[in-house]
Structure 1
Amino acid sequence: MSAPLCSFAVSGHVFEWSGDKDAALSVPAANSAFTQISCGFSHTVALNENGGVEAWGANDQGQAAVPAVYESGVKAVAAGGFHSLVLLNNGLVKGFGENADGQLNPPKQAARKVVAVSAGLFHSLALDVNHNVYAWGYNGFGQGTVPSRLYQNVSAISAGAMHNLALTTWGSVDAWGDNSTGQLFIPEEATHDIVAIAAGYFHNLALTAAGEVIAWGDNSYKQCKVPGDAKKNVIAIAAGEKYSMALRSDGKVVVWGNHGPDKIDAPKELEGRVVSMSIGGEDQIAYLVSSTTDLDQDGMVDWWEMSNGLSPDDDDKDSDSDGDGYTDYEEYLADSNPSDEFSHLSVSAGMDTDGQVVLFSPASSDRRYQLEYTTDISSGEWKPVPGKSSITVSGAETFGRIQVAANTDGFVLYRLRAQLP
């Protein structure tokens, strides 16, 4: 049994409370904003705001090795057992990772106009614009054979380990594939007024229009024992191997299942900040957190405070956590580390072989910079250097290098101003 992994992705940042050694591999750098996240058996796939795919975790089948071609042009992702699916902007379904059962080979009918994808342990699903479902890959339990009754009748799909769920256009749940734990025995209350579905490995969740969660199937970890907090005001659901989750309209995340010593609860600091969540195997739980929320109204967005060891619930903008003379808010503006006294915005200068002044400064790809100068510091007047008012660095850079023409008329002093994007 691996150690439980609890991570959350916030505007490109991923955090772990306890580390599964595989899942901790190659966590992406904090250089992009995620719009979707999906947990597989022991890896995670995410879609960034630029339409690029990022992945981390176990990579024994190449399921976390994202081909360069998927750095853009993608609109959805799905993590399966040991494979990953990508849905391109043009409606084509592609993938990478394990393909022993053909789970990366969609049928020709699913070649275009696909609007959603989902991945099971060894099989894959797609939904097209005409409400048709396609399934491929391992078919040992019939999960790869879509029932004819679903023809042009499906509005959402969700793949479990060896079974599938479909939400029909009239608001009922349908299921096919493995029924070893009763996951195909749909309760009566899930036959009408359903707005969302989530297939776990061997259990299912459905969300009613009234905001109540319905669960059925495997209950070995009490993942089908819906707590009172998930019986009203729920707006989103997720299901995995051992856990079930619900996001309430008040921002509270409810987690149930795996009642053993390794049980993972939703971290309190995430309350009111979660946008969506995903659960996989091996106790993987991931949260996508809002990139704009600032519940304590201190001017620093909450995800940045959490990622830098500050409290997102306290107004600490005037604090100087590392004692370097820069307030935590000033460090936020510069995107430097408020817990490291040697991390702050500073400028050093030199000359290159062409006689130009070369300025160096710590830099962040999440900020823009404006270079300013003065020839009389006592005047307090600073002017922007022409052509240097919106300087950026790439995600791979941590230090900026700026060239400016040398001033042959005398003294000149430069400063660098960090700006929020």
Structure 2
Amino acid sequence: MGKRVTFWAFVVGCLAVLSGCAGPTGSPPEGGNGTHGDPMRFQGILAAGTDFVLLVKPDGVYGWGDNRFGQLAEDPDTLPFRSTPAKIPGLDEAIAVAAQFGIGENQRHALALMGDGRLQSWGVNPYGQLGRPQGYATEPPTFEPPDYGVAEGGSEHLANAVAIEAGRDFSLVIHVRDNERRVLGFGDNVNHSHVLTQNDDWYYDPRPLLRAEGQPLVGVQSVDAGDGHALLLLEDGTVWTTGSNSHGQRGIANVSDRYAQQVPGLADVVQVAGGREHSVALRRDGSVWAFGSNAEGQLGQDLSLTSTSTPQRVPFPSGVQIRFITAGGTHNLALDQNGRVWAWGSNDHGQLGQGNSGNSSPTPVQVKGEGCTGTLSGAVLVKAGYDFSLAVVQEGGNLVLYA
């Protein structure tokens, strides 16, 4: 099913694309196989945005997909899209990437974390989501090439960043100061119920996300952005959320304030993921929990449950332990202890990897192998774009990206 397009994508291996079922797109960092590798160690090398992909290789950052807003760091007037990955100049020292997630009218942006802890950004910048001045200077917003983001106060370049994330027109950075890990945010703060927890509608200078007492939330292990909400995993295994709660995606009933608040009853969590209007959490025991909209079965529950703010356990067969999760617009992917890939939720574009498109699935199903034969195995990392899916798979001595 579909055809394979191959080209050199990594130091070893090849990258190809196959429509319908999973098909290869080549080698993330060393990290073992689907059983022993830790996908959380190198999840930042691959970013699946709304309609584009970024990949960190040993020699720099590569991108492909839609470029109508300059999200591939090329002038969109001359290159509206690219189907073949190409290197983005000036990012040879990048160690992680982030791609805007969510549907906006005319906005896309991207981030790269450099090895020295500084941040580079590109795309469009109407809300200051690039971490540098522009705001509403032009309409439609103009493309901005890669450049460094500013530090708090809008002066020097931001430094001491350790992780990055891009939501719809806003950006989040885990920043270390005085040995404390906190989250800085910048960009659109008004269209997502004050997801950045500050008073201003939008701003480009990074500011900390705040607790209800008005103090910065510290001890943050990781962060993930949905379309208009954010999930913050603390080092103690608790989950905190900010932003929109239209379908209970914050995991808190009737919350309306702009501060970060803890999701009740959710503990011992090791990873979080945000979708368009839903959220997913992975606990240390390998169980997966989801809350928010269930319109496409993305909570793993019967469609009679339209939405909920109470975390629901996603049903997997007995003995399956999940090691990594990722959320798309209205679907999710999970990687189990044996390197198998599971998918559930919307399948309108074939993003569940079943060789067809159409009906959603509230029950997790195994992604099929290339040509829709057997099941995809040996995976070491999965990433969900808005309505597409990616999986890095170990094949012999190569690591190959399936899409």
TM-score, shorter chain, exceeding 0.5: yes
SS at match of 2:90: helix
SS at match of 1:224: coil
1:221-245 per-residue CA deviation (whole Å, 9 max, x = no partner) reads 1111123249841100000102111
Q: 2:175 aligns with which of 128, 134, 143?
A: 128
Relative to structure 1, the CA distance from residue 252 to residue 54 in structure 2 (aligned partners, 3 Å threshold; closer, same or farther) is same
Alignment partner, residue 298 of structure 2: 223
Give how far 1:272 is off: 3.0
Alignment partner, residue 143 of structure 1: 195
1:211-261 per-residue CA deviation (whole Å, 9 max, x = no partner) reads 000011111111111232498411000001021111000111110011558
Relative to structure 1, the CA distance from residue 273 to residue 103 in structure 2 (aligned partners, 3 Å threshold; closer, same or farther) is same
The answer on 1:96 being equivalent to 2:122 is yes
1:214 partner letter: W
Greater relative contact order, per chain length (Cα 8 Å cut-off, separation 6+): 2
Counting matched residue pairs gives 281
2:185 partner letter: A
2:49 partner letter: G
Unaligned runs of 5+ in 1: 1-6, 20-26, 295-299, 308-421
Q: Is the 8 A contact 2:286 2:323 kept in 1?
A: yes
Alignment partner, residue 68 of structure 1: 89
Give how far 1:179 is off: 0.8
Unaligned runs of 5+ in 2: 1-5, 30-41, 75-87, 102-107, 132-148, 198-208, 253-262, 301-313, 354-366
Alignment partner, residue 369 of structure 2: 268
Relative to structure 1, the CA distance from residue 302 to residue 39 in structure 2 (aligned partners, 3 Å threshold; closer, same or farther) is closer
Give how far 1:124 is off: 0.4
Q: Which structure features the higher share of strand residues?
A: 2
Give how far 1:301 is off: 4.9
1:257 partner letter: G
The answer on 1:16 being equivalent to 2:17 is yes
SS at match of 1:258: strand
Alignment partner, residue 80 of structure 1: 100
1:268 partner letter: G
| Separation (CA, whole Å) in 2 of partners of 1:253 and 1:205 | 16
The answer on 1:239 being equivalent to 2:343 is no
The answer on 1:160 being equivalent to 2:226 is yes
| Separation (CA, whole Å) in 1 of partners of 2:349 and 2:195 | 34
Q: Is the 8 A contact 2:269 2:282 kept in 1?
A: yes
Q: Is the 8 A contact 1:244 1:256 kept in 2?
A: yes
Alignment partner, residue 197 of structure 1: 272
SS at match of 1:271: coil
The answer on 1:284 being equivalent to 2:396 is no
TM-score normalized with structure 2 length: 0.63
Alignment partner, residue 158 of structure 2: 111
Q: Which protein has the larger Cα radius of gyration, Structure 1 or Structure 2?
A: 1
The answer on 1:254 being equivalent to 2:304 is no
| Separation (CA, whole Å) in 1 of partners of 2:169 and 2:224 | 14
TM-score normalized with structure 1 length: 0.61
Q: Which structure features the higher share of helix residues?
A: 1
| Separation (CA, whole Å) in 2 of partners of 1:230 and 1:240 | 25
Q: Percent identity?
A: 29
Q: Is the 8 A contact 1:213 1:230 kept in 2?
A: no
Relative to structure 1, the CA distance from residue 65 to residue 175 in structure 2 (aligned partners, 3 Å threshold; closer, same or farther) is same
1:316-372 per-residue CA deviation (whole Å, 9 max, x = no partner) reads xxxxxxxxxxxxxxxxxxxxxxxxxxxxxxxxxxxxxxxxxxxxxxxxxxxxxxxxx
Q: Is the 8 A contact 1:37 1:286 kept in 2?
A: no
Alignment partner, residue 404 of structure 1: none
Give how far 1:204 is off: 0.8
